[in-house]
Homo-oligomer: A and B are copies of this chain.
Amino acid sequence: MAEQEVQNGGAEKAVPAVEFTAVKPQLLVEAPKANDAVQFYKSVFGAEEVGRTNHPKRKAEQETPLILSAELKLAGSIILVSDILADDSSAPIKTGGMGGVVLCLETQDVDAAIAKAVSAGGVAEGEIAEGDGACCGGRVGKVKDPFGFVWLVSSPPTKKECDDVVEA
Protein backbone atom coordinates (compact mmCIF):
# COMPACT_ATOMS: atom_id res chain seq x y z
CA MET A 1 0.00 0.00 0.00
CA ALA A 2 1.42 3.35 -0.98
CA GLU A 3 2.10 5.95 1.67
CA GLN A 4 -0.63 8.58 1.54
CA GLU A 5 -0.43 12.28 2.06
CA VAL A 6 -2.41 13.37 5.07
CA GLN A 7 -3.44 16.77 6.28
CA ASN A 8 -0.71 18.48 8.26
CA GLY A 9 1.43 15.54 7.21
CA GLY A 10 4.85 15.35 5.65
CA ALA A 11 6.97 14.63 8.71
CA GLU A 12 5.59 11.16 9.29
CA LYS A 13 7.78 9.52 6.71
CA ALA A 14 10.81 10.05 8.94
CA VAL A 15 9.18 8.03 11.70
CA PRO A 16 9.60 4.26 11.41
CA ALA A 17 6.55 2.06 10.90
CA VAL A 18 4.78 1.00 14.05
CA GLU A 19 3.19 -2.41 14.40
CA PHE A 20 -0.18 -2.61 16.14
CA THR A 21 -1.33 -5.86 17.70
CA ALA A 22 -4.93 -5.08 18.65
CA VAL A 23 -7.62 -2.43 18.53
CA LYS A 24 -10.40 -2.62 21.09
CA PRO A 25 -13.35 -0.30 21.61
CA GLN A 26 -13.57 0.78 25.23
CA LEU A 27 -17.01 1.70 26.56
CA LEU A 28 -16.81 4.26 29.34
CA VAL A 29 -19.74 3.81 31.70
CA GLU A 30 -20.81 6.28 34.35
CA ALA A 31 -19.52 4.77 37.61
CA PRO A 32 -20.50 2.47 39.24
CA LYS A 33 -22.67 1.02 36.46
CA ALA A 34 -19.95 -0.76 34.48
CA ASN A 35 -20.73 -4.05 36.21
CA ASP A 36 -24.40 -3.68 35.24
CA ALA A 37 -23.29 -3.00 31.67
CA VAL A 38 -21.11 -6.12 31.67
CA GLN A 39 -24.07 -8.20 32.87
CA PHE A 40 -26.27 -6.65 30.17
CA TYR A 41 -23.81 -7.49 27.38
CA LYS A 42 -23.40 -11.03 28.72
CA SER A 43 -27.12 -11.61 29.01
CA VAL A 44 -28.33 -9.81 25.89
CA PHE A 45 -25.47 -10.20 23.41
CA GLY A 46 -23.98 -13.43 24.76
CA ALA A 47 -20.65 -11.75 25.53
CA GLU A 48 -18.14 -13.75 27.55
CA GLU A 49 -16.09 -12.02 30.23
CA VAL A 50 -12.48 -13.06 29.76
CA GLY A 51 -10.82 -10.73 32.25
CA ARG A 52 -11.41 -7.94 34.71
CA THR A 53 -9.17 -5.45 36.48
CA ASN A 54 -10.64 -3.42 39.30
CA HIS A 55 -9.66 0.15 40.07
CA PRO A 56 -6.81 -0.17 42.58
CA LYS A 57 -7.40 3.20 44.24
CA ARG A 58 -11.01 2.40 44.94
CA LYS A 59 -10.66 -1.16 46.22
CA ALA A 60 -10.48 -0.24 49.90
CA GLU A 61 -13.04 2.53 49.74
CA GLN A 62 -15.87 0.88 47.89
CA GLU A 63 -18.00 -2.04 48.84
CA THR A 64 -18.25 -2.92 45.19
CA PRO A 65 -14.95 -2.00 43.53
CA LEU A 66 -15.05 0.09 40.38
CA ILE A 67 -14.02 -1.59 37.15
CA LEU A 68 -10.87 -0.27 35.56
CA SER A 69 -11.38 -2.59 32.62
CA ALA A 70 -13.54 -5.62 31.97
CA GLU A 71 -12.61 -7.50 28.82
CA LEU A 72 -15.55 -9.04 26.99
CA LYS A 73 -15.37 -11.40 24.04
CA LEU A 74 -18.25 -10.58 21.71
CA ALA A 75 -18.70 -12.09 18.26
CA GLY A 76 -15.00 -12.98 18.09
CA SER A 77 -13.81 -9.49 19.05
CA ILE A 78 -12.81 -7.93 22.36
CA ILE A 79 -14.59 -4.93 23.82
CA LEU A 80 -13.61 -3.22 27.06
CA VAL A 81 -16.04 -1.84 29.62
CA SER A 82 -14.86 0.60 32.30
CA ASP A 83 -16.29 2.67 35.10
CA ILE A 84 -15.63 6.35 34.66
CA LEU A 85 -16.01 9.07 37.25
CA ALA A 86 -17.21 12.49 36.20
CA ASP A 87 -14.45 14.14 38.25
CA ASP A 88 -11.61 11.81 37.23
CA SER A 89 -8.91 13.95 35.65
CA SER A 90 -7.18 10.83 34.30
CA ALA A 91 -10.31 9.70 32.44
CA PRO A 92 -9.75 9.18 28.70
CA ILE A 93 -12.50 11.61 27.75
CA LYS A 94 -14.91 13.93 29.47
CA THR A 95 -18.27 12.31 29.06
CA GLY A 96 -20.29 14.69 31.19
CA GLY A 97 -21.99 11.78 32.85
CA MET A 98 -22.85 10.18 29.52
CA GLY A 99 -21.28 7.08 28.05
CA GLY A 100 -18.42 7.54 25.64
CA VAL A 101 -16.36 5.27 23.43
CA VAL A 102 -12.61 5.46 22.89
CA LEU A 103 -10.39 3.12 20.92
CA CYS A 104 -7.56 1.22 22.59
CA LEU A 105 -4.71 0.48 20.24
CA GLU A 106 -2.01 -1.90 21.38
CA THR A 107 1.60 -1.67 20.26
CA GLN A 108 5.04 -2.41 21.65
CA ASP A 109 6.14 1.11 20.73
CA VAL A 110 3.73 3.56 22.33
CA ASP A 111 6.07 6.53 21.99
CA ALA A 112 6.61 6.08 18.24
CA ALA A 113 2.91 5.58 17.63
CA ILE A 114 1.98 8.77 19.47
CA ALA A 115 4.76 10.69 17.74
CA LYS A 116 3.58 9.53 14.33
CA ALA A 117 -0.02 10.49 15.06
CA VAL A 118 1.05 13.92 16.29
CA SER A 119 3.23 14.48 13.23
CA ALA A 120 0.15 13.87 11.08
CA GLY A 121 -2.08 16.32 12.93
CA GLY A 122 -3.13 14.47 16.06
CA VAL A 123 -2.90 16.10 19.48
CA ALA A 124 -1.25 14.25 22.36
CA GLU A 125 -3.21 14.60 25.58
CA GLY A 126 -1.26 14.28 28.82
CA GLU A 127 2.01 12.42 29.24
CA ILE A 128 2.73 8.85 28.33
CA ALA A 129 2.48 7.11 31.68
CA GLU A 130 3.39 3.79 33.22
CA GLY A 131 0.92 2.00 35.38
CA ASP A 132 -2.71 1.23 35.78
CA GLY A 133 -3.96 2.02 32.32
CA ALA A 134 -7.50 1.05 31.53
CA CYS A 135 -6.18 -1.03 28.64
CA CYS A 136 -4.19 -2.99 31.21
CA GLY A 137 -0.98 -2.03 29.47
CA GLY A 138 2.44 -1.02 30.73
CA ARG A 139 2.81 2.33 28.98
CA VAL A 140 -0.28 4.25 28.01
CA GLY A 141 -0.56 7.44 25.97
CA LYS A 142 -3.52 9.29 24.58
CA VAL A 143 -3.93 11.09 21.30
CA LYS A 144 -6.93 12.85 19.79
CA ASP A 145 -6.92 12.55 16.02
CA PRO A 146 -7.86 15.48 13.73
CA PHE A 147 -11.42 14.11 13.49
CA GLY A 148 -12.13 14.18 17.21
CA PHE A 149 -11.61 10.52 18.09
CA VAL A 150 -9.54 9.61 21.14
CA TRP A 151 -7.07 6.72 20.83
CA LEU A 152 -5.53 5.18 23.91
CA VAL A 153 -2.23 3.77 22.75
CA SER A 154 -0.86 1.17 25.13
CA SER A 155 1.67 -1.62 25.28
CA PRO A 156 0.00 -5.04 25.43
CA PRO A 157 -0.85 -6.46 28.85
CA THR A 158 1.74 -8.69 30.47
CA LYS A 159 1.06 -11.40 33.00
CA LYS A 160 2.58 -9.43 35.86
CA GLU A 161 0.59 -6.31 35.14
CA CYS A 162 -2.64 -8.27 35.01
CA ASP A 163 -2.10 -10.37 38.13
CA ASP A 164 -5.00 -8.66 39.82
CA VAL A 165 -7.41 -9.66 37.11
CA VAL A 166 -10.35 -11.34 38.76
CA GLU A 167 -12.90 -13.71 37.32
CA ALA A 168 -16.44 -12.36 37.32
Q: Is the pair B101, A147 in contact by a Cβ cutoff of 8 Å?
A: no
| Neighbouring B residues of A98 by C-beta, 8 Å | 148
The quantity of this chain's copies bound in the complex is 2
Contact B147 A99 (CB under 8 A): yes
**Is there an interface contact between B12 and A43, defined as CB atoms closer than 8 Å?**
yes
Q: A147's contact among B24, B25, B36, by CB below 8 Å, is which? A: B36
* Interface flag for A51 (CB, 8 Å): no
Assess whether A60 is interfacial by the CB under 8 Å rule. Answer: no
Is A3 located at the chain interface by the 8 A CB criterion?
yes
- Chain B residues closer than 8 Å to A148, beta-carbon distance: 30, 98-99
19 A-B interface contacts by CB (under 8 A): A1-B42, A4-B42, A6-B43, A17-B46, A19-B46, A20-B45, A20-B74, A21-B76, A22-B77, A23-B74, A23-B75, A23-B79, A25-B103, A43-B120, A44-B120, A45-B113, A75-B105, A99-B147, A100-B101
